Every structure is written in structure tokens, then in C-alpha cells.
Chains A and B, each alone.
Chain A
């Protein structure tokens, strides 16, 4: 039993928490931005897959890691644009369209991957992001190793959360996005175009999602393989609800979630015999469902979420 608690005092656990949290932070922020503007983006799972492959492929073909991230973000944004076009001006079902985007993005990803790299037994690898020790802070005993020796995209994720929080709360653009998610008619009546605002939010949100996917292949692992996203997108959608659509809470939620995940991975090695490893692997999904149930009563959903807005509709 002591061993189970000792895990918490290992720096490697906390180091892993931030690493596991990074794609979730990007994904959750992306989904959150879409939803604050009033559009559910279930394309997330496919966009994560796409981002993972595209970033990896760029680097594999000789691009540098940052170029890989940029290309991933761009491609994610393009799929966001497709989702936006179908759900905003056309007003199609956000549920079904999102699933369609996920199916399309993942199948296209696998197609392109298989096309450029015919079957091989072990997937080829790239040189991933290395930990970037923050001078000074990383020398602090324990904390330095636990928190300040991350790869650059992890710091970027935390920065993205801060920027998202600021933009939404403090800027006219953020107000416009929030108001579009609450009542697009109010936005239109004040001379702004809610359709453009939604499209913009979805494109930006989807680009962030793709960064989350890209992190998987350029930092967590060093190769791409199908099904590597493993439902992380759906977890992010649950985390948005858990976070009550607040970027700060989204960051916390992703970290908390990653803590459970990192902990169960280590617990697997500690717990002796008899407990099937699959039970541990279920933890993230079960937690997501629990989070949804717990927060369902208290969460403040954007009022116009999933309500299509058509101009001049009578």
C-alpha cells in the first residue's frame, strides 16, 4: 500500500503528468473555443489523428519540428474550415457532421500515410522534441525535474491556455465569440457577423486540436501509427463540460485527468497480480464519464450551443 502512495513523491510522475496533459490541453482548448462560439466540434478525434500524422510526416520528410507543428495546425485549421462551412452557413447537424469529419480526417490520414509509406513491420521514427530545461527553475530539486524540464510544446500549451483565457475574458474579440455562443442574433443586431465569428473560432480551435495531435508524434512518441489517438478527442469533449467552458478550469481539468492517467500507469506496476491491466486502461474513459455526470447539473452551457444560426430565417 505504501508503494501506491510513494508514487506521488516521484518526480517522474509529475513530469509525466505534464507530458500526458499537453495534447489534452490543446484539444480541450480547441474544443472549448469552438463551443464558446456555439458549435460542437466532434471532428476533434479525426483532427488529432490528422495533426499527429501530418506533423510527423513533415519532420520525416526533412522539415524541422516547428515546421511540423505549423503544418499540422494549418491542416487542422483546414478541416475546421470544412466543419465550419457545413455547420455554420449550411447549418447541418453538428453531431453528425462532426462525426463525419472525424471519419473523413482519420481515413484520409491513414490513406495518405499508407500511400507515402508502404507497409513495414515497425513504423519509422523521427528525432522528437527534447526536454527544454528552464534555466534556474529546472535546478530546483524535485520541482525542477518534475515541472520545469518539459518539451517546448508543453510550455506552449500552458501559454495557449493563458492566452485563450485572456482573449475570451478581456478583449472585444473574446466578447464577440462569447456572445455568439450565447445569442448570435444579439451579435448580428450590433453589426457584427456571427457566421464569420463562428467560422473563425472553429478554424482556430481546430488548429489547436491538431497541435495536440502533433504533440503525440513529435514529443510523446517519435512515430505515427493508426489508432494512436485512442479516444483522446472524446476525452477532451468531456473535459470541456467538466471545465464549465472556462479555459482556466480546462487547464486544471486536463492536468487532473493526466494525473490519474500517469498514476494508473505506475500503479499497474505496483499492484500485485490478479488485476487485469485493462481495468487500469479503462480509468481515463470511466473518469470522463464520471466528470460528465458530476458536472452536468452545474455546468453552464453556452445558450446557443448546437443551435444553427441562419440569417433571415423566419
Chain B
């Protein structure tokens, strides 16, 4: 038995791959749910109810979707150019920290219409700068960016911890390690009253559309795709690999930084060490499930959000540990990789 490359990928197969992958992942996770003593079908029903059962739960799911779209885009943009940015988590935190600091300090000086964009842009710049380091190391010295971006996540978390226990500590937080708070008048407007859903969701969706247009319609999009698919041919055609990679890194880092900035200014209002339940890492899964397609990212981010929000309430109702959400998501990543393979290869005896 061996694999043979398909001459063409049937469209139906390409479209159904993520669905098949998710179905297999749910089936496998169902075994674990059964082991935990619950009926898998009922558990999944509870999850759906938890994610969509009420106005509140729908708004929570969408709130959760927002950062995932952005970190998913960050990974999708980078991976498409074979830039293995695994540092989304760190970029998320520096973006968040920047936004919190500015939201606390400039609110008095700038009106909200200016302050909000400034915070967003600052978060993006912080995220981009954080990724530039590993990318320059890769271009200059050939250092694998997977390991450096991963290690940077730990460094950044310690840095954030240092800041929120030090210079940026909120003196009113009863000694909890928590950053200064974003002033109320520069928080992102709500999208839905009496809910936590904020306009960050629209920003994230707009970002997905912009990235899609840039990738599919612009000269830069074609060049960066070429660089990712075949570096030798791209540089033969005159595409500068280094500068393309730098631009891609800036976009990718900025998206993850923006995710952090939005999470702080839209939702939490301040930074703590549990601001992100692994959004940076989940972003990788979101991107892979979407086959790196920016519009697909919106859909898969929603899926991952459903799993997380739904698992919380299912866990409360049925006593299955909520870690099942991480299990479902990580198995989905692996099954998606296999399904993607079979869109380009087929098995021959």
C-alpha cells in the first residue's frame, strides 16, 4: 500500500475534509466521554445547548470566537508562507499589555475616537515586533523559528508577570497580580446590549476579509504565496524571500497582537496571567482546520469557540472534565492533517 498524488482534488472532497475531520474527532472524543461515564450524544447535545441555547450563550460563544479569528488568521498568514509562527500566545500578551498600558494612560489625553485606534495599533506593533526577532534570526542565522517563538512565549509570560507585579500593577487590586485597567470611556463599544459581545468581532471579521483580498487579489499576495510554495522558484522569479517573510511576519504578529489588544479593551479591561486560555495555540488549530483559508478561519474559530463554551456548560451539567474541549480541538487538528493529505493523495495498493 502506498500513497499516490492525485492529479486533481475533487471540490467536494476539499470542502468536506474539515467536516470529516471534525466528525472523526468527535467520535474519538466520544469514547473518552463514555469512559467518563456520560452518554456522548447527550454530552454533545449539552455542548450545543451551552453554546447556542440562549441569547447569553450565543453572545458568549461569539465573544470567544473573536480572539480565535485573529490568532487563527495570524497562524494562517504565517503558515501559508512557511513561517512557523508558534508564538501567537506571546504576541497576544504583548499586544494586550500595550493596550492596557495605553488605555490606562492616554485616555485622559486623547478622545476615545483617537485613543481606541491608537491602542489597537500599538498592540499590533508590539505583536509584530515580537515576531520580527525570531524571523530575523531565521533569515540571518538560519535559526528555526518554531523553537524560538515557542521559547519566547515563556519569556513573554514572565515579562507580563513582572510588569503586572511591578510597574503596571493595579494598586487597587488588593494585591492580586493584575495590570492597571483600561479607562472605561476607551473600552470598545458593545455590539449587543446586556452582553459581553463587543465590536471586536466585527474588527476580526473585517480582518479576515482584508487578508483574504490581500492574499488572493494583490501582487503581494501572489508573491508571498509563491515564496511559501517554492522558495527557489520564487526567488528565481525575482521575489525577495527575506523581505516577503518580514512583511508576512509583521502581518502575522500584528494580528495576534491585535487579538490581545481587543481582548483587553473589549472584554477584560486589564491583563492577568490567565487572560488567554491558550488562544495563541488554539489559533494554530483554527488555521489548520480552515486549510489556511482566511475566510474559513472565521468558521473554524466559531467551531472552536463552540467547543470551549459548550464544554464548560456540559461539564457543569454532566461532570465530564472540561478539558474534553482541548482534547476535541487537538484531535481535530490531527484528523484534519490526515484529511488534508487525502485531498492531495490517494491510497494505492
Residues of chain A touching chain B, judged by Cβ–Cβ distance below 8 Å, are 42, 82, 86, 90-93, 95-97, 99-101, 103-104, 106-108, 110-111, 114-115, 230-231, 234-235, 237-238, 241, 276, 278-279, 281-282, 285-286, 288-289, 292-293, 296-297, 310-312
Q: Which residues of A contact B276 (CB under 8 A)?
A: none
Given contacts A96-B284, A111-B327, A282-B155, contact A292 B144 (CB under 8 A): yes
Specify which of B154, B285, B338, B341 is in contact with A230 (CB 8 Å cutoff).
B154
B288 within 8 A of partner (CB): yes
Docked Cα-Cα span, A43 to B327, in Å, equals 15
Task: Tell me if B150 and A115 are in contact (CB < 8 A).
Answer: no
Question: Distance (Å) between the CB of B300 and the closest chain A CB?
Answer: 15
- Kindly provide the distance from the CB of A115 to the nearest chain B CB, expressed in whole angstroms: 5
B154 touches A100 (CB 8 A): no
* Contact (Cβ within 8 A) B155 A115: no
Q: Which residues from chain A contact B334 at a C-beta distance below 8 Å?
A: 82, 86, 97, 100-101, 104
Contact B141 A296 (CB under 8 A): yes
Pick from A42, A82, A107, A289: contact of B146, CB below 8 A. A42
Residues of B within 8 A of A (CB): 2-3, 32, 35-36, 79, 84, 86, 137, 141-144, 146-148, 150-155, 158-159, 161-162, 165-166, 281, 284-285, 288, 321, 323-324, 326-327, 329-331, 333-334, 337-338, 341
CA distance A285 to B90 in the complex (A): 13
Per the bound structure, the CA–CA distance linking A230 and B150 in Å amounts to 11
B153 CB to nearest A CB, Å:
8
A289 CB, nearest partner CB in chain B, Å: 6
Identify 13 residue pairs between A and B in the complex whose beta-carbon atoms are under 8 Å apart, listed by A's number: A99-B333, A100-B285, A100-B333, A103-B281, A104-B334, A108-B32, A111-B321, A115-B35, A231-B150, A234-B150, A234-B151, A278-B161, A297-B142
Q: How many A-B residue pairs have CB under 8 A?
A: 127
Give every chain B residue within 8 A of A288 (Cβ-Cβ): 147, 151
Contact partner of A234 among B141, B142, B147, B326, CB < 8 A?
B147
Instruction: Give Cα A231 to B3, complex, Å.
Output: 36
In the complex, chain B residues whose CB is within 8 Å of the CB of A276: 162, 165-166
- Chain B minimum-CB-distance residue to A279: B162
Ranked 5 nearest A-B pairs via Cβ: A107-B326, A103-B330, A114-B321, A278-B162, A104-B330
Given A90-B338, A92-B337, A278-B161, CB of A99 within 8 Å of CB of B86: yes
> Considering only CB atoms, which chain B residue lies closest to A94 in the complex?
B146
Contact of B148 among A278, A282, A289 (CB under 8 A): A289
Could you list 15 further interchain pairs (A-B, Cβ under 8 angstroms) beyond the known A99-B333, A278-B158, A286-B155? A92-B337, A97-B334, A104-B327, A110-B321, A110-B323, A111-B323, A111-B324, A115-B36, A230-B154, A231-B150, A231-B154, A234-B150, A237-B147, A238-B151, A289-B137
Given A42-B146, A296-B142 in contact, is the A95-B84 Cβ separation under 8 Å? yes
Alpha-carbon distance between A68 and B137 when the two chains are bound, in angstroms: 41
The complex places the Cα of A296 from the Cα of B134 at a distance, in Å, of 13
- A310 CB to nearest B CB, Å: 6
Interface centre among B35, B79, B141 (most CB of A within 10 A): B141
Residues of B within 8 Å of A97, CB to CB, are 334, 337
Query: Is the CB–CB distance between A86 and B327 below 8 Å?
Result: no
Chain A residues in 8 Å Cβ range of B36: 115
Minimal beta-carbon separation of A43 from chain B (angstroms): 11
A residues less than 8 Å from B151 (CB atoms): 231, 234-235, 238, 285, 288-289
